Amino acid sequence: MPADDAKPSRRRFIANVAGSTAALAAAGLGATELLAQGTPATPPQGGWDMSWVDRVQRARHRQVFDAPWMAEGMALTNAMVWLNGYSEVYKTTDADMAVVLVFRHKGLPVVLNDDMWARLKFGDDDKLKDPTTGEPTKRNPFVNLKTGDKKLMTFPDGGLDSLIARGAIVLCCNLALMRHAGALATAEGIPREKAQQAMIDSVLPGVIRMPSGVFATSRAEEAGCLFMRSS
């Protein structure tokens, strides 16, 4: 193509780009909003609950805490510090905030009930103490805390159940859940299918299973969350 013929096309391209940029600016779309708009258009398949994504996108401030280890509840503490910081500086309410916690890999037990903690002895493995007795715990020490408990967390109201009650979105890794099912089947001599159902049933109320923790973290970032490792 002759050079002179190419000039109008280049001018039209530059004009289109400039017009698009101006339109975005006029709409008040910042980097976070643009990132959130770049989410997959394909509807969820396979029965996974993705309704939490809409909750994230409605919030003014968005953060995902990735917890591949229990780390004495560091993800819970980080979530509380984040919520408190915005409240102190900007006078935000819980409705302004989207706090997403992803428990995967060795962090999965945080979202499991007391029965599964006793059956798989998570307290022994991580040398965690019962908040009441101080002995190796046979219950989940991150939920249902009572007055006088020797709490692992920095905040007395920072248990997982308390955060869920405040609107926190808690996601867990189904791959890790199924790995624990294999351990349960071996330990108790039960069929793998029965162990898998037992693991699913042990997930605490309000926790949403995702195909993997990696997927959950990535999807939260696509929805506009900033990322923080909590381990």
pTM above 0.95, yes or no: no
- The residue ranges of every structural domain in the chain are 52-229
CA distance 191 to 154: 40
pLDDT band for position 41 (cuts 50, 70, 90):
low
**pLDDT tens-place string over residues 72-100:** 999 999 999 999 999 999 999 999 999 99
Amino acid 150: pLDDT: 64
- Decide: residue 58, CB within 10 A, 0-12 exposed, 13-18 middle, 19+ buried: exposed
Question: At 128, which amino acid appears?
Answer: L
CATH code, 52-229: 3.40.1260.10
